[in-house]
Structure 1
Amino acid sequence: MEDPERPDEADSSRGSPGTRPRGRTTLMIAGAALLGVAAGTCTGYVIQAGRAPTALPPLSQPVVGQAGGEAEPLSAAQDRRVKTDGDLRRLLITRPKGAKDSRFPVGRDGWADLASYAGEYKSPADAFDSLAGSEFRRAATTSWRMGENDNVEINLVQFRQENDPSAAEWADSGRSWAEKEEDTRDWPIPGTGDGTVYVHDAPARKPGYLPLYAAEALAWRGDVYMEIRVNDSKPISKAKIMDLAVRQMGKL
C-alpha cells in the first residue's frame, strides 16, 4: 500500500496564469487609505489626552494562583505508550480453551518480522516495499483453529510514525479492499471511530476443496493497526467477528 504521489503545492510567490499584477493606481489608493486611518488614529489620541482617565470595570473571573510542584505523570494504565512500547504480544487476546494451533501460523513465538508479515499478502514483494516505506516497526500475532476448518488470525502491526500516520492509513487501505468484495456486509466497531467488521457472504470455491467463507475486522489506535481474519467452511456470523474485534480493541 503505497501512498499516491501528491502533486506539488503551487508556489505562493508566483502569480497564477491569467492574473494581472497590481498597477500603480491600486498602490496609490491603498496608500491614501492607510494615511486616512493613521490620521484618524492621531486625532483620537489628542482627544483622549484631554479627558480624565476612566476607571476600568473589575475582572469577571477571579485570579487563580499558580499551582505548586510538578504535574503528576500518567499511570501505566492511563499512558498508552507504556503498553504499546512494551511487549506487544501481551496486548493480544488469549485464545479460547480447546483451541488448536493454526496450520499456517505467522512468524514465530508471537512475533512476525517484516518479511513474514509481508508474506501474508498476495504480492509479498510489493507489500514488503510498502511496509518498509510506512516505517514498519514490528508485528505481534496470534492464531488458532476450532475444529478442522475454523481458523482465526489476529495481527497487531506497529509503525514508527515519524513522518506519516501509517496505522490509520493501513486500516483505511484494508477497508477499501474489503469493501470491494461482492456480497459483503459491514458494521462499525463500537468505540473505535472508523473501525469496521466485514462478513463476506460469498465463499471462495475451488474444485476438490470445501467452500471457504471469510470475515475480517480492521481498526487502528495510535501507532498500532489491528486486523483480524476468520476463515471457515461454513458461513461466519457477525456476532463472532464482532466479539473478537471488541475484545481485541479493548486491550489497546
Structure 2
Amino acid sequence: MEHEQTAPRRHRGRTPLLIAGAAVLGVLAGTVTGYAIQYDREPTPLPPLAQQRMAMPLPVAANEGTSRRSVNANRWDKADEDLVKKLLEAPDGAKDATSGYESADEFAAYFYEHPRGGFPGLISDGVRRIATASWQQGEHDFVEIRLLQFQERSGAESNYKAPFGYMATDKYAGNSGFTLPGVPADFGHGWLFKVSEKPGYVPLRTSRAIVRRGDIVMDVELTNNRGDLSEREIIDLAKRQMERL
C-alpha cells in the first residue's frame, strides 16, 4: 500500500502536445498567406443597398400649435413665440398703457402681499418668463393682464390653483366665483369682488379671471372706480386675451 501511495504520477505524453502545436502553426500560416493574397487584389465593390435613402418622417402640416417661424413644423411650438406679443393690446385712446417682461422678483414685489413667500413659490414652480400689460380705459376702468409661462405644465397648474385657496375669503372676492363660458372648469375661473367703499375714497370694484392653457397661466384683472362692474365685462376681457394664446 505504501508503494502505491508514493509512486510518481504518470506524465502526459508529448505526442498530443506536438499535434496541437502543429495545428496552431498551420492556422497562423494560413491566415498570413490569406492576407498576403488579398493585399495584391483589387478591392471588390459591394453590392448596392436595397434601400438607397433612409426613411425620414415628413414635416407635418402647420396647425394651431405651430408658429409661422417654423422651418419644419415639428421644430417649434406656438408657446415658444414672444410672450409679450401674446398680450392683449391696449385699445385706441387708452391711457398709461404699458407692456413688457418682468423678472420674477419684480413681479413678486408688486403682485404678492408677502413677496418673500411669493418669490420662492414662483421659483419652485419653475417660472420661465412673465409678461404684463396695463392701461386705463376711459375715466373709470383699469386693466391689468399677466401671462406667466413655466418650464413644465405641472408648475403652471400649481400656480393656477393657488388663488383658489384665498379668493373666497372676505379680504378678496368673498365668494366662490364663477366658471368662464367655453372653458373647462379645471382650466379657468372668474370672480367678481364686492364693492369696496371707504370714507373719503371712490367706490372700487374688481373682477378677476384666471385661465391655464398648457404651460401658460393667464391672469386678468379689471377694476372700476365707480363700483360699476359685472361678470360680463371680465368674461369679455378674458375671452379676448385667451384668443391670443
TM-score, length-scaled by structure 1: 0.63
Q: What residue is the counterpart of 2:115 in the other structure? A: 124
> What are the ranges of 5 or more consecutive residues in structure 2 without an aligned counterpart?
1-54, 68-75
Structure 1 residue 95 corresponds to structure 2 residue 101: no
Give the drift of 1:124.
Answer: 1.2
CA distance in structure 1 between the partners assigned to 2:162 and 2:210 by the alignment: 10
CA distance in structure 2 between the partners assigned to 1:215 and 1:166 by the alignment: 24
1:137–1:160: 8 Å Cα contact kept in structure 2?
yes
Q: What residue is the counterpart of 1:110 in the other structure? A: 100
Q: After TM superposition, what 4+ stretches of structure 1 lie above 6 angstroms from structure 2? A: none
1:209–1:184: structure 2 CA closer, same or farther, 3 Å change rule?
Answer: farther
1:101–1:145: 8 Å Cα contact kept in structure 2?
yes
1:158–1:185: structure 2 CA closer, same or farther, 3 Å change rule?
Answer: closer
> What are the ranges of 5 or more consecutive residues in structure 1 without an aligned counterpart?
1-67
Say which of 205, 210, 213 aligns to 1:221: 213
1:196–1:218: 8 Å Cα contact kept in structure 2?
yes
Structure 1 residue 210 corresponds to structure 2 residue 202: yes
Greater Rg, structure 1 or structure 2? 2
Paired residue secondary structure (1:138) = strand
CA distance in structure 2 between the partners assigned to 1:79 and 1:148 by the alignment: 39
Counting only pairs closer than 5 Å after superposition, residues 1-252 of structure 1 correspond to structure 2 as 70-75=57-62, 77-79=64-66, 82-101=77-96, 109-119=99-109, 120-161=111-152, 165-180=154-169, 181-183=173-175, 185-194=177-186, 195-200=188-193, 202-233=194-225, 234-252=227-245
1:142–1:155: 8 Å Cα contact kept in structure 2?
yes
User: What is the alpha-carbon root mean square deviation over aligned residues?
Assistant: 2.2
Q: Which amino acid aligns with 2:182?
A: P
1:154–1:227: 8 Å Cα contact kept in structure 2?
yes
Q: Deviations over 1:117-140 (max 9, x none)?
A: 112111111111111111111111
CA distance in structure 1 between the partners assigned to 2:114 and 2:197 by the alignment: 21
TM-score, length-scaled by structure 2: 0.65
CA distance in structure 2 between the partners assigned to 1:184 and 1:95 by the alignment: 29
Give the drift of 1:94.
Answer: 1.4
CA distance in structure 2 between the partners assigned to 1:132 and 1:75 by the alignment: 33
> What count of residue pairs does the alignment treat as equivalent?
177
1:184–1:199: 8 Å Cα contact kept in structure 2?
no
1:222–1:191: structure 2 CA closer, same or farther, 3 Å change rule?
Answer: same
1:244–1:168: structure 2 CA closer, same or farther, 3 Å change rule?
Answer: same
1:138–1:169: structure 2 CA closer, same or farther, 3 Å change rule?
Answer: same
Give the drift of 1:78.
Answer: 2.9
1:138–1:159: 8 Å Cα contact kept in structure 2?
yes
2:125–2:150: 8 Å Cα contact kept in structure 1?
yes
State, as a whole percentage, how many aligned pairs show the same letter.
31
Q: Deviations over 1:6-65 (max 9, x none)?
A: xxxxxxxxxxxxxxxxxxxxxxxxxxxxxxxxxxxxxxxxxxxxxxxxxxxxxxxxxxxx
